[in-house]
Amino acid sequence: MRIGIIGATGNAGSAIFKEGQQRGHDVVAIVRNAAKAKEQFGEKSSVIEKDAFSLSHSDLQDFDVIVDAFATSPDQAYLHVDLAAKLVAFFREQSTRLFFILGAGSLLNEQGERNINDLKKAPDSESWIAIPENQLDEYVFLQTVKNVDWVGVSPGNLFQEGAAVPAILGKDHLLFNGQNQSVTSSGTLAKAILDEIETPQQHNTRFTVIDA
């Protein structure tokens, strides 16, 4: 399949790119810095060098799947929402599948409350909470969208670089493994996304994955 990855040189994006490449898909890195992408993925890798907000519909119309792995700084965290809205507007009533990497903030805790409220209690949360807050806004927006084939993916509380390990999959609740950890490695996330791309099971909904 032809898969475009926005933010392919980031933590999530690069793992997804490599997983897609390894499985033999036609993967294209959509990034601001082509040289960085070529360095990470090889000279022969396919790259579109463009700021995500400069992308036109024609840049993206030939993809079967677009993965939005865009990352930004907390002071511009609203760009998560704006990019989701831009992609949704491009693909209204079309078959292109859109994947959005959402944070853990929109997941629910055991009491059925949004995990964002628990995340806020972390001592250093002020410096980064805008990211999961805006990813929650992004999810709220996506839930209103019925005529685009979108999928949201939430990692656990901690997202870190690392190889894929066996995974636990869930739906709307924050998951913990047997060691009471809620951690998702970039490799585990990438594998779950490529599995879902190859065997579509989720439509207009969000799922979550953590390291077992």
Q: Give residues in contact with its own copies (CB under 8 A).
A: 53, 78, 81-82, 85-86, 88-89, 92, 137, 140-141, 144-145, 147
Return the H-helix or E-strand segment holding 39: helix 34-41
Strand, helix or coil at 59? helix
Q: What is the DSSP letter of 15?
A: H
State in angstroms the smallest separation of the CB of 84 from its own copies. Answer: 9
Q: Which is nearer to its own copies, 11 or 134 (CB)?
A: 134
- Which of residues 128 and 141 has its CB atom nearest to its own copies in the complex? 141
Q: How far apart are the first and last CA of the chain?
A: 28
* Least Cβ distance, residue 30 to its own copies (angstroms): 18
Residue 141 CB, shortest distance to its own copies, in Å, is: 5
Burial 54-82 (b: 16+ CB within 10 A, else e): ebeeeebeebebbbbbbbbeeeebebbbb
Nearer to its own copies, 35 or 89 (CB): 89
Q: How far is the CB of 89 from its own copies (least distance, A)?
A: 4
CA distances from 177 to 117, 156, 166, 209 (A): 21, 10, 11, 11
Nearer to its own copies, 79 or 165 (CB): 79
Say if CB 82 and CB 51 are below 8 A apart.
no
Tokens 């065997």 correspond to: 199
- The least CB distance from residue 137 to its own copies, in Å, is 4
Residue 72 or 177 with smaller CB distance to its own copies:
72
